[in-house]
A and B are shown apart, each in its own frame.
Chain A
Amino acid sequence: KNEVEQSPQNLTAQEGEFITINCSYSVGISALHWLQQHPGGGIVSLFMLSSGKKKHGRLIATINIQEKHSSLHITASHPRDSAVYICAVRGADSNYQLIWGAGTKLIIKP
């Protein structure tokens, strides 16, 4: 079993829909990262969380440390949100290494 599991693997939705992508992990962590990989391949960091919730524009990330679970929400989704969304965690006893999820491929149709 992978230490970081993302669901769903693939998600197709209509423009305007509310999107939720989930990340569950099995290790104690010091932080959780959400990243976005554009269709052209480039990867950008979206959020880094150790507790609670963060918001940036239409993106919201939440984390529940007790349940070892994080969600990434997109409100009023748009075709330009189409990308692969990747979750990664840093273990609490890790020197610096991230454990990566396999990613969720999101397609937003106009």
Chain B
Amino acid sequence: EAQVTQNPRYLITVTGKKLTVTCSQNMNHEYMSWYRQDPGLGLRQIYYSMNVEVTDKGDVPEGYKVSRKEKRNFPLILESPSPNQTSLYFCASSLAQTWRDYNSPLHFGNGTRLTVT
């Protein structure tokens, strides 16, 4: 089944304790992205990747790191989490091999609800 898999679904941690949220897709998609969703603010992009070893900042990259060493995986790393990073996080992927694919649909993971105390 074609899907984007995020883990974990729920995570409670303490300030400063490094954590990683994993994201994997099995659709051979070039484009992958991380979003955070906060009440009243909608989805905001954290980082995105156009292909292996190609990553770029979104609208709210501060406090986050990503890597894209393989096409299927795009982990989100919080080196020193803080309470203002408490949020619902989504990974998404899309086919984007050529310009005409840029408007292909986004496939989302089920989300990770992170609480930093």
Interface of A toward B, CB cutoff 8 Å: 30-31, 33, 35, 41-45, 48, 50, 86, 88, 90, 96-98, 100-103
Q: Which of A30, A45, A96 contacts B31 (CB 8 A)?
A: A96
Alpha-carbon separation in the docked complex, A88 to B108 (Å): 14
Interface of chain B, main secondary structure: strand
Which residues of B, 99-116, contact A by the 8 Å Cβ criterion? 102-108, 110-111, 113
Alpha-carbon separation in the docked complex, A90 to B102 (Å): 9
Interface size on B, residues (CB 8 A): 24
Interface of B toward A, CB cutoff 8 Å: 31, 40-45, 48, 50, 58, 88, 90, 92, 96, 102-108, 110-111, 113
A43 close to B108 (CB less than 8 A): yes
Q: A48-B103, A90-B103 are known contacts. Are A102 and B110 too (CB-CB below 8 A)?
A: no
Q: A44-B108, A96-B31, A96-B50 are known contacts. Are A86 and B43 too (CB-CB below 8 A)?
A: yes
| 9 A–B pairs (Cβ distance < 8 Å), ordered by A | A30-B102, A31-B103, A45-B106, A45-B107, A86-B42, A86-B43, A96-B48, A96-B102, A102-B41
Number of A-B contacts (CB under 8 A): 48
Determine how close the nearest CB of chain B comes to the CB of A83; give it in whole angstroms: 13
B96 close to A41 (CB less than 8 A): no
Alpha-carbon separation in the docked complex, A96 to B55 (Å): 13
